[in-house]
Chains A and B, each alone.
Chain A
Amino acid sequence: DIQLTQSPSFLSASVKDRVTITCRASQGINSYLAWYQQKPGKAPNLLIYAASTLQSGVPSRFSGSGSGTEFTLTISSLQPEDFATYYCQQLNTYPLTFGGGTKVEIK
């Protein structure tokens, strides 16, 4: 199975900070990677797909990059509504797998 390792698992940041989350795959997954945001008690929301394509309706402060085994999600200027948990997911190979999550909290 392909393991996805997210780092950090927790980060504390302030509004307007630039935030970067990393997702490393145990083997190459081309660009079959997605990023989701989940808030407590809510369903996950697709932010980025194909590693770097912004899902319709998602603010442009979110961006994704990478290919192969290393990927990043960047929030250029953190907003109050961005405090949430973020997950990467690989869709290159079954079983599909998620990273362990990164919880972004207010400093």
Chain B
Amino acid sequence: EVQLVESGGGLVQPGGSLRLSCAASGFTFSDYWMSWVRLAPGKGLEWVANIKLDGSEKYYVDSVKGRFTISRDNAKNSLYLHMNSLRAEDTAVYYCARATLYLDSWGQGTLVTVSS
């Protein structure tokens, strides 16, 4: 059974940093692209970033470029999202998802709150 478990969310001040993790199991992690998607309060889903199987290609939504970095460790079956210069508008539940082009498996999400 595919399992994705996010961690690392919490309360952070504007301008602060946070690293989210996603532990994957039940499939061969290194065979799949992976994604981060977020859901802000009262808003719709927003795709954040994608990373290729070996980490050689990364793509971001414009609003996080230069502030967020997606990475992965295939030896640890783990996906990461390094978030810097956080803003109030980054407040959201962050989901990791397996990408067979389409997002066919999702974690339960981790809440990031950016507030002073």
Mark A residues whose CB is within 8 Å of B.
1, 32, 34, 36, 38, 42-46, 49-50, 55, 85, 87, 89, 91, 94-101
Instruction: Tell me whether A91 and B44 are in contact (CB under 8 A).
Output: no
**How many Å lie between the Cα of A94 and that of B37 in the bound state?**
14
Q: Is there contact, CB below 8 Å, between A45 and B106? A: yes
Contact (Cβ within 8 A) A55 B104: yes
Asked whether B13 is an interface residue with its Cβ less than 8 Å from the other chain, the reply is no
Stretch at the interface among B23-31, B57-65, B66-74, B82-90: B57-65
B contacts, CB < 8 Å to A: 35, 37, 39, 44-47, 50, 59-62, 95, 101-104, 106-109
CB neighbours (8 Å) of A89 from chain B are 45, 47, 102-103
Query: Using Cβ atoms and an 8 Å threshold, which residues of chain B touch A98?
Result: 44-47
CA distance A97 to B63 in the complex (A): 13
Would A43 and B44 count as touching, CB distance under 8 A?
Answer: no
Beta-carbon contact of B107 and A43 below 8 Å: yes
Q: How far is the CB of B56 from chain A (nearest CB, A)?
A: 15
A100 touches B44 (CB 8 A): yes
Contact, CB under 8 Å: B102 / A34: yes
Give the distance in Å from the alpha carbon of A99 to the alpha carbon of B46 in the complex.
9
Write the nearest CB–CB distance from B48 to chain A, whole angstroms. 9
- By a CB distance below 8 angstroms, the chain B residues around A1 are 62
Q: How far is the CB of A12 from chain B (nearest CB, A)?
A: 19
Residues of A within 8 A of B37 (CB): 44
Query: Given A49-B101, A50-B102, A98-B45, 16 more contacts at CB 8 Å?
Result: A36-B45, A36-B103, A43-B107, A44-B95, A44-B103, A46-B102, A46-B103, A49-B104, A89-B103, A95-B61, A95-B62, A96-B35, A96-B50, A97-B47, A98-B44, A98-B47
Return chain B residues, CB-CB under 8 Å to A94: 50, 59
